[in-house]
Structure formats: structure tokens, C-alpha cells
Amino acid sequence: MISANRKIETNNLPQISIYVLKRQGELVYYPNLIQFEYNGNYFTSGLSYQKCFFGGLRAWFRCPRCDRRAGVLYILDNSMRCRVCFNLCYHSQNLSSHLKKDFIFRALDNFSKASDLEQKIKRPIYAGETTKNQKRLEHLYYKFLKATRISDNRIIS
């Protein structure tokens, strides 16, 4: 079952992703500091860069509290920090191992993941080939259908 002393999950808080900022064109000139506004509050974070194997640079936030390298920073109580400083966890970390092994839970989890992925897919086929996300979506639906068949057999027996 789900633990009674659950931590706050990362998906329940506003977050700023370095990858989103880069896609929006905010990190064109490789600054050392970045400042942005969220709900009327201004936040500042340091940036660091890592050389990539095939050239280029990968940008990372520096947590304002612990100076840890992070790809995502979270906002809580008008402060911005990394996942470790806020003591946050991912959704899967709050689930018990017994629940993860339950075939009905897995079926519903696969269906939920497939629904989210289906909304995210912009094109299922590119250049005559099925895209990776489309293949993943088909695999999730296959796992969901397989689990529902197993559950039907268990209920009938």
C-alpha cells in the first residue's frame, strides 16, 4: 500500500527546466547567471556547463541553496531549490513494492502513461518510419491489454 508518511512529489510543484529555457532561446549566449520571473517573484540561479562528448555544451542550473548541479529547479514558498534541498521524491518512490507488483496497478499505470504519451505525440510516422514515441505508445497499450486479459482470467477462475 501507499506509505502514510509520503514526501511531496516533484510533479505537484512548479518547476523550471533548463531544457525548456534552452528551447525557448533563453540560453543562447551561455551566461553564468540567469534571472526569471514567476508569479511576480524574481529568481536568480547560477549556471554551469558541461562539455558534451560529440562537442557543444550542456547547461545546468546551480541550486541557490546547496550549489548542486540540477536540470530542474522547483519553487515552494517563494524560494527556488533543487529536489534534494526540498526533500522531494518522484511519484514512483511513494509507491510500495507490493503495489508495484499488482497486475491491476501495472495495467492502470501503463494506461495512464499511454494516455499522457498519446497527447504528447505530434506525428506517429516520420519519413515513412514509425517514431520511437509511437512505438513506445503501442508497447504500453500492448502491456495494458495483456494485463487486462490476465485479470479477466483471474477473475473468471
Q: What is the structure's pLDDT at 3?
A: 44
Tell whether the model's pLDDT for residue 130 goes beyond 90: yes
Q: How far is Cα 72 from Cα 2, in angstroms, rounded to an integer?
A: 26
Give domain limits for the chain.
10-81, 102-156
Q: What is the structure's pLDDT at 6?
A: 66
Judged by DSSP in three states, 40 sits in coil
- 52-61, 71-80, 86-95, 123-132 — which is least confidently predicted? 86-95
Higher-pLDDT residue of 152 and 2 is 152
Tell whether the model's pLDDT for residue 122 goes beyond 50: yes
Residue showing cell 562528448: 53
Strands (E), the chain: 15-17, 33-38, 41-51, 57-62, 69-70, 72-76, 79-81, 125-126, 129-130
Higher-pLDDT residue of 69 and 40 is 69
Tell whether the model's pLDDT for residue 43 goes beyond 70: yes
Question: Which CA distances in Å does 130 have to 137, 140, 142?
Answer: 11, 15, 16
Judged by DSSP in three states, 86 sits in coil
